[in-house]
């Protein structure tokens, strides 16, 4: 078999081709190692406290090293379809035109950047994408020798693009594959960061809403007491005083009455005025606001209210109280007002003989149940029944505090009022 003699020039040419093939083979070895390194770089953000611009600057440097590129950058897609470089791209000088470039995508999805990056139509020729290189140079990066880019996405959403520039030996399909994988995983990090920021904003808004709710609850409570005080004052100082004056005038007229018939009529009128006065005085007692000073012992205050009900209405009370001694004053006020409201309704409407009050600390709050053996009513119709407005007030008071209130009743089966409020507003 014959041999072929190679000239010196041919030997150098073959040796050069062999060296390039060897370098290419080395770069293609274990692509999973490169993929793992890229994923590790992206996921490192989740375990770090660095700001997002610092993270993408570091990630750009890592991507450049993995793809043997001199420069790398993330391009963020703005609301008007414009790509703008993220801060601190790797390998670019501070005065590089890259910082002022604005790449406009096609309006109908047919722009060059749109096709090359987002439609995966980027083709490699001699280690680069000639079409993409032309875009960079036209935009102002005239020194770009080679480049590739991939979509930076979060699911179906386009976040932007990631690009690398100027590989010493040209980019390969492996580099493009790694870049695409980085674009997908970086999109997940971006989505995570946005969700984290949104959660933070939501927490702030929630705290503001909680503060507004506490303020509203305090205003409602103080406003209600103030309105009742003004009404009670007007009732005492105006209506009752006028009624008393009318009774005195009537007494003088009765003394001057000439006939027995007139005296009888005047006595009847006096009796009617007395009934009106008694009714107004009972109304004054009912609407007078409770003292603002809360009792030091809430359980004792509940017991006193039950004993007062027993004396006035003859209803036998029972209490099972297992509530803490250190309740916040605002919570004490809500609990005591709702219990008082429930007992007042029982006294006025239930015709009950027994009442059971159970109060206990459960689920980070105070649960109270008030049961009576009275006549009961149809709950759905309670809003339209005169005298039952207190039930609505109880619900609103508990709900404003962040809790709930339930009312269970049937005609002839008694009533159960149950509410829960948290330990803190």
In order along the chain (425 residues), what is the average pLDDT of each group of 10 residues?
Answer: 40 44 46 66 65 82 89 90 91 93 76 86 91 94 94 87 92 89 83 76 75 64 58 62 68 68 73 71 57 63 89 91 87 90 89 95 94 90 60 83 91 94 84
* Region of residue 162 (phi > 0: left; psi between -120 and 50: alpha; otherwise: beta): beta
pLDDT (0 to 100) of residue 75: 94
Q: Degrees (nearest 5) of the Cα angle 368, 372, 375? A: 140
pLDDT (0 to 100) of residue 233: 62
CATH tag, 8-199? 3.30.450.40
How would DSSP label each residue in 29-56? S-HHHHHHHHHHHHHGGGG----HHHHH
Residues of the chain with CATH 3.30.565.10: 293-425
Structure tokens at 286: 């009912």
Residues of the chain with CATH 3.30.450.40: 8-199
* Region of residue 67 (phi > 0: left; psi between -120 and 50: alpha; otherwise: beta): alpha
Structure tokens at 175: 């580099």
Q: For the chain, state the CA radius of gyration.
A: 42
Interacting residues of 77 by C-beta distance below 8 A, sequence separation 6+ = 83, 105, 152, 158, 159, 160, 161
pLDDT (0 to 100) of residue 147: 95
Q: How far is CA 79 from CA 89, 102, 104, 123, 158, in A?
A: 21, 13, 11, 28, 11
Rounded CA-CA distance 398/24 in Å is 73
DSSP 8-state symbol, 292: S
pLDDT (0 to 100) of residue 6: 38
Structure tokens at 416: 């159960």
Alpha helices in 89-239 (DSSP H): 112-113, 130-139, 173-234
Q: How many CA atoms lie within 13 A of 52 on its CB side?
A: 13
Sheet holding 316-322, edge to edge: 316-322, 354-362, 365-372, 415-422, 404-409
Rounded CA-CA distance 182/161 in Å is 10
pLDDT (0 to 100) of residue 3: 39
pLDDT (0 to 100) of residue 1: 41
Give the residue among 29, 26, 72 at the shortest CA–CA distance from 169.
26
Rounded CA-CA distance 162/75 in Å is 6
> Residue written as tokens 């036209």?
138
Rounded CA-CA distance 74/271 in Å is 93
Asked whether the beta carbons of 91 and 72 are under 8 A apart, the reply is yes
Query: Which CATH number is correct for 293-425, 3.40.50.2300, 3.30.565.10, 3.40.50.2020, 3.30.420.40?
Result: 3.30.565.10
> pTM score, two decimals?
0.47
Query: Element (H or E) spanning 361, and its range?
Result: strand 354-362
Alpha helices in 256-388 (DSSP H): 260-287, 298-313, 329-345
């Amino acid at each position: 078999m014959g041999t072929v003699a190679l000239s010196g020039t041919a030997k150098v040419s073959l040796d050069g081709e062999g060296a390039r093939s060897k370098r290419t083979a080395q770069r293609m070895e274990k692509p999973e190692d490169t993929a793992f390194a890229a994923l590790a770089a992206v996921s490192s953000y989740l375990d770090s406290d660095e700001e997002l611009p610092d993270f993408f600057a570091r990630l750009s440097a890592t991507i450049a090293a993995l793809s043997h590129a001199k420069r790398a950058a993330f391009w963020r897609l703005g609301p008007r379809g414009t790509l703008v470089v993220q801060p601190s791209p790797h390998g670019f000088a501070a005065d590089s035109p890259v910082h002022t470039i604005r790449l406009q995508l096609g309006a109908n999805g047919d722009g060059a950047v749109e096709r090359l990056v987002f439609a995966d139509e980027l083709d490699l020729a001699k280690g680069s994408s000639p079409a993409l290189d032309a875009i960079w140079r036209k935009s102002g990066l005239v020194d770009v020798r080679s480049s590739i880019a991939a979509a930076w996405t979060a699911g179906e959403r386009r976040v932007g693009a990631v690009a690398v520039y100027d590989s010493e030996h040209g980019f390969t399909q492996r580099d493009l594959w790694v870049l695409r994988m980085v674009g997908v995983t970086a999109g997940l990090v971006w989505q995570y960061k946005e969700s984290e920021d949104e959660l933070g904003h939501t927490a702030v808004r929630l705290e503001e809403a909680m503060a507004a709710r506490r303020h509203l609850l305090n205003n409602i409570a103080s406003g209600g007491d103030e309105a009742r005080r003004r009404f009670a004052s007007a009732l005492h100082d105006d209506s009752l005083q006028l009624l008393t004056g009318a009774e005195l005038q009537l007494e003088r007229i009765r003394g001057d009455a000439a006939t027995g018939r007139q005296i009888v009529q005047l006595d009847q009128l006096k009796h009617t005025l007395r009934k009106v006065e008694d009714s107004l005085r009972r109304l004054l007692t009912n609407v007078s606001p409770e003292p603002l000073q809360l009792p030091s012992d809430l359980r004792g205050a509940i017991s006193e209210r039950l004993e007062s009900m027993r004396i006035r209405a003859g209803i036998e009370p029972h209490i099972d109280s297992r509530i803490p001694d250190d309740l916040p004053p605002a919570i004490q006020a809500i609990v005591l007002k709702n219990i008082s409201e429930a007992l007042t309704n029982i006294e006025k409407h239930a015709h009950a003989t027994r009442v059971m009050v159970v109060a206990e600390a459960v689920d980070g709050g105070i649960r109270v149940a008030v049961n009576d053996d009275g006549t009961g009513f149809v709950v759905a119709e309670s809003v339209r029944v005169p005298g039952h407005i207190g039930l609505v007030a109880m619900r609103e008071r508990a709900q404003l505090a962040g809790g709930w209130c339930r009312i269970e009743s049937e005609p002839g089966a008694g009533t159960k009022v149950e509410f829960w409020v948290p330990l803190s507003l």
